[in-house]
Amino acid sequence: MALLGSTGSIGTQALDVVREQRGRFRVAVLTAGRQWQLLVQQAQEFRPAAVVINDEFYQEVKAALAGQPETQVLAGAAALTEVVQRPDVVVVLTALVGYAGLAPTVAAIRAGKAIALANKETLVVAGELITKLVQEYGVPLLPVDSEHSAIFQCLAGEAQNPIEKVILTASGGPFRGRSTAELAHITKAQALKHPNWTMGAKITIDSATLMNKGLEVIEAKWLFNLRNDQVDVVVHPQSIVHSLVQFEDGSLKAQLGLPDMKLPIQYALGYPQRLRNDFPRFSFLNYPTLTFEAPDLATFRHLPLAYAAMQRGGTAACVLNAANEVAVAAFLQDQVSFLGMADVVADCLQRVPYLADPTLADYAATDAEARRVATSLL
């Protein structure tokens, strides 16, 4: 496999799965952004045919792997789109964060590679384009997000049974139940303390604002060919029920498990087999009470903004994603308040020109313009 984003939360857990399933998977490509020392350690352990790093760290990685001639060291965005097309790559696990995952995913699909998708922004930004390409090239698109993996697992054996709706569960993040006034002075340190999941900084902030759930709503629409009104969200603080599917007869199927990303990663990589592992097991005795409640859409404005962008279609979700990426980065640098992030996203959705039927080039231009506008609003 090619593992894009090997030093992030999903990437490191994917390599845990490879270790757990020793001999079943071979790592052909590893890529990273800034964590070049960890990339070098991973390359020394897994001996891939190629690694890709940001341009600014190329010399460091090249020097560190000088004694490992079987591993080619490459740098830059163009290298990302090249390595996923290599003949020895069978599956591409896209664990990059944000818009950066779009171009290599498109290249991998066109090269006929199976896609294990942990980069939800690819479908948020260009869902219509990606789903058409997947059909055109006949490649599997396997969800890695725990919620979408849950839906995917619930649909096994149900091909002849139409979906009435899917229900994505959300933990509610660290600020569930807080009022707008209480959120006015939230710090990044507080927002980075997720109650259930261990994730990267960007997705942890998105979880705190409920934007992560908004992005997942849009992703679910495209993954499972749903109408806008077929995707619901319910807050489930224990994060044991990962999502549910309701069928036309009213029956509900749910997938349950501990909040651990290694299981959905393994399910995608091993599909259609369920591979034995020694991961911790869930017990109802440890979770005697599972609760559910409606999300607070008035306080957590990112979720309704995402629903509105999905409803509008075209480039709206591309603007939503780009503005959010800028806003989250600014929040992590103490340049915008917790509540101010939603203001940036909402303003960008009003200001950035809208296209109803965009091409891949249009998405790139819209992404750049949304980032420019969002930065100007900080």
Q: What is the DSSP string of 215-275?
A: HHHHHHHHHTT--GGGEEEEE-TT--EEEEEEETTS-EEEEE--S-THHHHHHHHHTTS--
SS3 category, 337: coil
Span 34-46, pLDDT tens digits: 999 999 999 999 9
User: What's the chain's average pLDDT?
Assistant: 96
CA of 57: how far to CAs of 8, 34, 41, 355, in Å? 17, 7, 14, 37
Q: Is residue 152 part of a domain?
A: yes
Pair 133, 158 in one domain: no
**Ramachandran angles phi, psi of 255, nearest 5°:** -115, 130
DSSP category for residue 354: -
Pair 161, 133 in one domain: no
Pair 115, 245 in one domain: no
Q: Categorize the per-residue pLDDT at 197 as very low, low, confident or very high, splitting at 50, 70 and 90.
A: confident
Q: What is the DSSP string of 314-325?
A: TTHHHHHHHHHH
CA-nearest of 201, 179, 171, 172 to 189 is 201
Q: Is residue 53 part of a domain?
A: yes
Residue 310, H or E segment: helix 302-312
Q: Is residue 305 part of a domain?
A: no
Q: Which residue has the higher pLDDT, 215 or 197?
A: 215
Pair 76, 191 in one domain: no
C-beta of residue 75 within 8 angstroms of C-beta of residue 53: yes
Q: Is residue 235 part of a domain?
A: yes
Partnered with residue 234 across adjacent β-strands are: 169
What's the CATH code of the domain at 76?
Answer: 3.40.50.720
The answer to whether the bond into 272 is cis (omega within 30° of 0) is yes
For residue 351, the one-letter residue type is R
What's the CATH code of the domain at 326?
Answer: 1.10.1740.10
SS3 category, 139: coil
Q: Is residue 307 part of a domain?
A: no
C-beta of residue 222 within 8 angstroms of C-beta of residue 135: no
Q: Is residue 304 part of a domain?
A: no
Pair 6, 135 in one domain: yes
DSSP category for residue 56: G
- Among 128, 143, 158, residue at a domain's last position: 143
SS3 category, 35: coil
Structural domain tally of the chain? 3
HEC-encoded secondary structure of 170-226: ECCCCCCCCCHHHHCCCCHHHHCCCCCCCCCHHHHHHHHHCHHHHHHHHHHHHHCCC
Pair 324, 231 in one domain: no
Partnered with residue 293 across adjacent β-strands are: 235
For residue 281, the one-letter residue type is R
Q: What is the pLDDT of residue 176?
A: 95
DSSP category for residue 335: S
Residue count (the chain): 378
Residue 56 belongs to domain spanning: 2-143
73-79: long-range pairs with CB below 8 Å, 24+:
74/50, 76/52, 77/103, 79/52
Span 264-283, pLDDT tens digits: 999 999 999 999 999 999 99
Pair 358, 326 in one domain: yes
Pair 91, 31 in one domain: yes
Span 340-369, pLDDT tens digits: 999 999 999 999 999 999 999 999 999 999
Q: Is residue 254 part of a domain?
A: yes
Pair 279, 318 in one domain: no
Mean pLDDT of 79-94: 97
Q: Is residue 335 part of a domain?
A: yes
CA-nearest of 341, 346, 339, 345 to 184 is 339
- Among 109, 125, 143, residue at a domain's last position: 143
Pair 338, 208 in one domain: no
SS3 category, 326: helix
- Among 244, 267, 297, residue at a domain's last position: 297
Alpha helical stretches, state H, 57-200: 58-64, 77-83, 102-110, 121-137, 146-154, 180-183, 188-191
Pair 47, 156 in one domain: no
CA-nearest of 171, 256, 244, 243 to 206 is 171
Pair 154, 89 in one domain: no
Percentage above 90 pLDDT, the chain: 96
Residue 36 tokens, joined:
């070049």
Q: Categorize the per-residue pLDDT at 286 as very low, low, confident or very high, splitting at 50, 70 and 90.
A: very high
Mean pLDDT of 83-104: 94
